[in-house]
Amino acid sequence: MKALILIYLKDLIRNKYTTLMIILVPVILYPTLYWGITQFLMVKSGLTDNQEINLSLDIRSEQFLSVKDSIATIKNFIISETSDEDFNKNSMYLLVNQVDSLPFYTLHLDSTNAIQKEFSEKLKVILSDYYDLQLGQRIDLSPYDKDYFNTFWVIKHNIDGEYENMTRILSMIIPLMSIITIIAGLGTGAVELTAGHTEDKTTETTLTTSLSRFKIIMAKLFATNIYGLIGGILNFSFLTFVIIQIINTLMMQFAGKSLEFDWSLIFNFRTISITFLSLTLMSHIMSLIFVAAAGFAKTRKEGNILITPFFMAFMMMSYVVIIPGIEPGFIFSVIPVLNIAMMIKLLLVNDFQILFFAQTVSFSLIWMLMLYKYLLPFMLEEEIILGISNTSLLKQIKGRFARWKKK
Amino acid sequence: MEEKIIIKNLKKEFYDEQRGTVLAVNDLSFTAYSGEIFGLLGPNGAGKTTTLRMMATLMKPHSGNISINGFDTIKDPQNVRKSMGFLSATTALYPRLSPREIITYFANLNGYPEDKTEERVEHLIEYFNITKYADTLSEKLSTGMKQITSIARTIVHDPPVLILDEPSSGLDVIVAQKIHEHILDLRDHGKTVIFSSHNMGEVEKVCDRIGVINNGKLLTTGTLNELREITGKYYMEEIFIYLVQEYETVKQKETGNVND
Ligand SMILES: Nc1ncnc2c1ncn2[C@@H]1O[C@H](COP(=O)(O)OP(=O)(O)OP(=O)(O)O)[C@@H](O)[C@H]1O
Ligand SMILES: [Mg+2]
């Protein structure tokens, strides 16, 4: 038995791809998860002592200019003065008006942002004190009783509107699930159409028809894409439906009311069309990689092994999108798959960032063209397209490794 | 008689981890004419499949050239593919398609006129007696049914040249017989048929001319009678064994004697 275990282990370790996976997962996935989870917990548990936060202060009444000094006593607040309504995700906005010679506050904040919420509590204490101070002075000057005046007023505005929690959740689930379901279809399609056809020997007969090789490869790519997209859409619609049903049931159970959500926020023409187009672009990039990788294989099994690393890489990229606190930037727009996942997320929270979108689309197109340029010649090679190669990439790596070991 | 297949000084090497460079086809030349059945014989690993694959534009030769129906396989592969039907050694059918679908599909792929496709497909289904299983998924068919379907899909676009790699291997005598009839029928319609085989009886019965190769080299070509004359043997089996085992050494001795 011991001997058999040893043989099995040797067999596993000698499969360079599984070994690679064993290394790849801890090296990339775990740190990513760790980072994401700690970020999340830090925000949630109020470990925000060192977090700084921006506040745009808009004082419309000369009388209350001194409120700035009071606010400035709160640690880590970065105050900038502004004179117009500022709806910004990254900073809070406080408008100070005057009603009956007393301060009237309006606060815009992102209530899903735990840091902003925490600071808003601190802010409320300061503003309330300031109000009381002003009220004291006002009463001294007037014949009216204290009860005559409005008490302290703060109006909180949610920058994302009333359904923002739901939008947030969906904006994470949708990119993640759509990518996962598309990848699954693409993987199966690519392996079937390349390695599967090699295994069934059907490639050979197709290659002797009057179609050119290029067209055959393109047909495989497109078929893979369509398969992936259809599979993705079907899977995804079903999944969304199920999730909504679950939420609904839970809401009925615990809150006694059904889910109220304005679906047009997500299922509108702009969102659906841009999402669909960008997913098409993304699946094209992924299928090029899958088809090229599985093209080296002679059997379905081998094909599946060959695409696994890419499969995992794409999955991880889609996970990154759901990490809280990740904001779009130039770097993200360069990374394929990740950039489009990010773009869909932004689209769903109605944060249409034209620069990021333009960068994402351009870089995705560049990736696609580069993959065509560098992978297509490989795919068209007779040994690879026929699946008869004894000098496939794997073997070449193996050969090189053997030669290196001898030295 | 028109020259339909011209092969000149064909060479193909493979690189193999264990064996190093393998010379699969070595300086091979022969010609086949219209209305002729040419049999390619040789022991396992002789280079038959490799030669046929190069003719079918699946592989590129390292040197030499092939012309099919007047088109060069390197310079004009598209037209070569239009002029021929290729049957690979394994009955390679899409497992989840039915014979009718596969035959139609290959007519389309080969650019057969769309308005005539249905008629052509029905004709072939009838001609090859496929009707009973025409709509069964091909993964459920027997080897013989698969092979018949494969042959039907090979000739669906009515090409002048047919390249068949072991068309009757693994078939029972009755199915094999049927396939021979079809091959003879194709010849009578003026097609050029080249096929490889390990079945000597089949070769004797069907082939107009025979080429025997060993280690990638053509030992000799000729009609059955010509081969009988060269070797002094009567049955194809004896001729074949003689050619593969002794002919080379006899020839070498002859040339060696001259040198002495
Ligand atoms: N893809 C390949 N890689 C390496 N060697 C190959 C490859 N294909 C064929 N060969 C070698 O080329 C030689 C000729 O093979 P081929 O398949 O043409 O023989 P064959 O005459 O068809 O044999 P059989 O009667 O067994 O079908 C053999 O030595 C074979 O091992
Ligand atoms: Mg063979």
Write down which residue in B140, B158, B176 finishes a domain.
B158
Q: Which residue's CA is the nearest one to ligand 1's atom 7? A: B14
Ramachandran sector of residue A336 (left: φ over 0; alpha: ψ -120 to 50; beta: rest): beta
Please, which residues 206-235 of chain A have a Cβ atom closer than 8 Å to chain B?
206-212
Contact A205 B84 (CB under 8 A): no
Q: Return the pLDDT at A32.
A: 64
B46 Cα to the center of ligand 1, angstroms: 7
Say how many residues make up chain B. 260
**Higher-confidence residue: A240 or B51?**
B51
- Residue B17 and residue A202: Cβ atoms within 8 Å? no
Average pLDDT over residues B161-188: 90
- Using CB atoms, pick whichever of B58, B88, B111 lies closest to residue A382: B58
List, as ranges, residues 118-157 from B with C-beta within 8 Å of A.
Answer: 150, 153
With CB atoms and an 8 Å threshold, state whether B111 touches A210.
Answer: yes
Atom of ligand 1 nearest to the CA of B15: 4
Among B93, B156, B26, B152, smallest CA distance to A205 is for B93
Query: If you average pLDDT over every residue of chain A, what do you get?
Result: 77
Q: Which of A202, A209, A210 sits opposite B94 (nearest CB)?
A: A202
Q: Given an 8 Å threshold on Cβ–Cβ distance, is B84 in contact with A208?
A: yes
**pTM, 2 dp:** 0.73
Residue A327: per-residue pLDDT: 76
Q: Is the pLDDT of residue A360 over 80?
A: yes
Cβ of A210 within 8 Å of Cβ of B82? The answer is yes
Contact B111, A210 (CB under 8 A): yes
Alpha-carbon distances, residue A189 vs A21, A59, A177, A200, A320 (angstroms): 22, 61, 18, 15, 25
User: Looking at the predicted structure, is the pLDDT value of residue B209 above 90?
Assistant: yes
CB B54 within 8 A of CB B73: yes
Would the CB atoms of B16 and A390 count as touching at under 8 Å? yes
Short-list B102, B95, B150, B98, CA closest to B128: B150
Which of the four pLDDT bands, split at 50, 70 and 90, describes residue A280?
very high
A206 CA to centre of ligand 1 in angstroms = 21
By CA distance, what is A219's nearest residue in B?
B109
Q: Please report which confidence band the pLDDT of residue B197 belongs to, taking 50, 70 and 90 as the band edges.
A: very high
Of B17, B86, B110, the CB nearest to A390: B17
Q: How many CB pairs under 8 A join A and B?
A: 57
N-to-C CA span, chain A: 34
Domain count for chain B, please give it. Answer: 2
Q: Which of B10, B15, B21, B50 to mutate to test the pocket of ligand 1 (most atoms within 8 A of CB)?
A: B50
Give the 3-state secondary structure percentages of chain B, helix then strand then coil, rounded to 5: 45, 25, 30
On whether any CB of chain A is under 8 Å from the CB of B115, the answer is: no
pLDDT at A83 (0 to 100): 76
Does residue B68 belong to the interface with chain A, where contact is any CB pair within 8 Å? no
Residue A377 has pLDDT above 50, yes or no: yes
B104 & B196 share domain = no
Complex prediction ipTM: 0.82
Per-residue confidence band for B41, with pLDDT thresholds at 50, 70 and 90: very high
Query: B171 and B51 share a domain?
Result: yes
pLDDT at A351: 78
Amino acid at A240: T
Q: How far apart are CA A234 and CA A223, in angstroms?
A: 16
Residue type, B117: T
pLDDT in tens, A12-28: 455 565 556 556 655 66
Selected residue of A208, A383, A397 to mutate for chain B interface (largest B Cβ count, 10 A) = A208
Q: Do A200 and B16 touch (CB under 8 A)?
A: no
CA nearest A196 in B: which residue?
A: B94
Does the pLDDT of residue B166 top 60, yes or no?
yes
Which segments of B8-160 does DSSP mark as H helices, in order?
A: 48-55, 77-83, 99-109, 114-127, 143-155
In this prediction, residue A255 carries a pLDDT of 65
Whose structure tokens read 């939420």?
A247
CA distance A259 to B227: 88
Nearest bound ligand to the CA of residue B45: 1
| High-pLDDT (> 70) share of chain A, % | 71
Is B260 part of any domain? no
Q: Which residues of B touch A202 (CB under 8 A)?
A: 92-94
What would the mean pLDDT of A118-144 be, rounded to a whole number? 80
Position A94 scores a pLDDT of 86
- Which neighbouring-strand residues pair with B86? B163
Mark which of B105, B138, B158 sits at the end of a domain.
B158
Instruction: Indicate which CATH number applies to the domain containing B166.
Output: 3.40.50.300
Domain co-membership, B118 together with B222: no
Ligand 1 pocket residues where CB is under 6 Å: A 388, 390; B 14, 16, 22, 24, 42, 44-50
* pLDDT value at residue B259: 43
Q: What is the pLDDT of residues B54-112, one digit of tens each?
A: 999 999 999 999 999 999 999 999 899 999 999 988 877 888 888 998 899 889 888 89
* Helix ranges restricted to H, B74-217: 77-83, 99-109, 114-127, 143-155, 173-188, 200-206
Report in angstroms the alpha-carbon separations of B179 from B122, B127, B184, B206.
18, 11, 9, 10
Same structural domain, B177 and B74: yes
Residue B183 counted as domain residue: yes
Residue B65 and residue B112 share a domain: no
Q: Rounded to an integer, what distance in angstroms lies between the CA atom of residue B49 and that of residue B90?
A: 11
**Residue B167 shares a structural domain with residue B250:** yes
| Mean pLDDT within B29-36 | 94
pLDDT of residue B260: 40
B51 and B65 housed in the same domain? yes
Residue B79 to chain A, least CA–CA distance (Å): 7
Count each helix (H run) and each strand (E run) in chain B, helices first: 10, 10
- Among partner residues A200, A205, A210, which is closest to B78 by beta-carbon distance? A210
Whether residue B168 is found in the same domain as residue B55: yes
User: Is pLDDT at B133 greater than 50 in this prediction?
Assistant: yes
Is B95 in Cβ contact with A200 (below 8 Å)? yes
Mean of pLDDT over chain B: 89
Could you tell me whether strands B161-165 and B3-16 are parallel, antiparallel, or unpaired per DSSP bridges?
unpaired
**Both tokens of residue A114?**
């735990």
Do B11 and B104 fall within a single domain?
no
**Which chain A residues touch B84 with a CB distance below 8 Å?**
208
- Return the pLDDT at B212: 93
Task: For ligand 1, pick from B48, B60, B90 the residue to mutate: most ligand atoms within 8 Å of CB.
Answer: B48
Q: Whose CA is nearest to atom 26 of ligand 1?
A: B44
Q: Which of residues 369-398 of A touch B (CB under 8 A)?
A: 382, 386, 390-391, 395
**Highest mean pLDDT pick, A85-94, A111-120, B61-70, B81-90:** B61-70
Name the residue among B58, B86, B111 with its Cβ closest to that of A386.
B58
Structure tokens at A73: 């006593």
Instruction: Report the residue count for chain A.
Output: 407
Query: Which of the four pLDDT bands, split at 50, 70 and 90, describes residue B183?
Result: very high
Rounded to a whole number of angstroms, the distance from the CA of B230 to the nearest CA of chain A is 36
Same domain for B72 and B186, yes or no, is yes
**B3 CA to middle of ligand 1, Å?**
27
pLDDT recorded at residue A31:
63
**Residue whose tokens read 């650019």:** B111
Identify the domain containing residue B61 by its residue range: 3-83+160-254
d(CA A17, CA A394): 9
**Residue A362 CA, distance from chain mean position:** 18
Non-local CB neighbours of A351 within 8 Å, separated by 6+ positions: A89
Render the burial of A73-91: b for 16+ CB within 10 Å, e for the rest.
eeeebebeebeeebeeeeb
| Mean pLDDT lowest among A195-199, A243-247, A286-290, B237-241 | A243-247
In a domain, B167, yes or no: yes
Task: Give me the mean pLDDT over the A373-387 stretch.
Answer: 82
Among B158, B179, B207, the domain-final residue is: B158
Torsion angle in degrees (nearest 10) through CA of B114, B116, B117, B122: 160
Q: How confident is the model at residue A47 (pLDDT cuts 50, 70, 90)?
A: very low
One domain, residues B152 and B115:
yes
B213 and B230 co-located in one domain: yes
Q: Are A295 and A378 in contact (CB under 8 A)?
A: yes
Helix (H) or strand (E) holding A172: helix A164-191
